[in-house]
């Protein structure tokens, strides 16, 4: 089986670059989108194995993007991991990564937790 493809969606260019580098180093093929409309187009055309989605963005909230993804037959089954600066790393760990049935992680420069969650979703034991 080939490398898994991950779409990272964030309107902060620095965050996109850091996540892209870390996930590529971890062995994933990475594509990026810096706004909601681009994310929806990329998800539909590229069919990633997983989407890492920022909650707060300028043009479209992550929840709205997720709603549209889940409403589209071609993207509805793609797993989504939300990143947010509204949650601290300790809260993220304490809450077990779930909020309203979705996986929610604190935005952090340390991507170990994110990579662990991605591996659990894409390569379950």
The answer to whether position 85 is within a domain reads yes
The pTM score is 0.88
Find the CATH number of the domain harbouring 33.
3.40.50.2300
The answer to whether position 100 is within a domain reads yes
Which tokens hold the place of 8? Answer: 């990272």
- DSSP type of residue 9: E
DSSP notation for 59-107 = SS-HHHHHHHHHTSTTTTTS-EEEEETTS-HHHHHHTTTEETTEEEEE-
Number of compact structural domains in the chain: 1
The answer to whether position 84 is within a domain reads yes
In order along its 125 residues, the chain shows pLDDT tens digits of 579 999 999 999 999 999 999 999 999 999 999 999 999 999 999 999 999 999 998 889 999 999 999 999 999 999 999 998 755 444 444 444 555 557 888 887 778 989 999 999 998 76
The answer to whether position 125 is within a domain reads no
Q: CA torsion angle for 102, 98, 16, 48 (degrees, to 10)?
A: -40
The answer to whether position 20 is within a domain reads yes
């Amino acid at each position: 089986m080939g490398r898994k493809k991950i779409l990272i969606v964030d309107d902060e260019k620095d965050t996109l670059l850091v996540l892209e580098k870390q996930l590529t180093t971890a062995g994933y093929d990475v594509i990026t989108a810096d706004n909601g409309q681009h994310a929806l187009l990329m998800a539909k055309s590229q069919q990633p194995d997983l989407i890492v989605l920022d909650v707060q963005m300028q043009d479209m909230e992550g929840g709205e993007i997720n709603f549209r993804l889940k409403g589209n037959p071609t993207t509805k089954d793609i797993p989504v991991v939300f990143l947010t600066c509204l949650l601290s790393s300790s809260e993220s760990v304490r809450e077990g990564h779930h909020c309203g049935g979705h996986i929610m992680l604190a935005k952090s420069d340390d991507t170990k937790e994110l990579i662990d969650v991605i591996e659990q979703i894409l390569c379950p034991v």
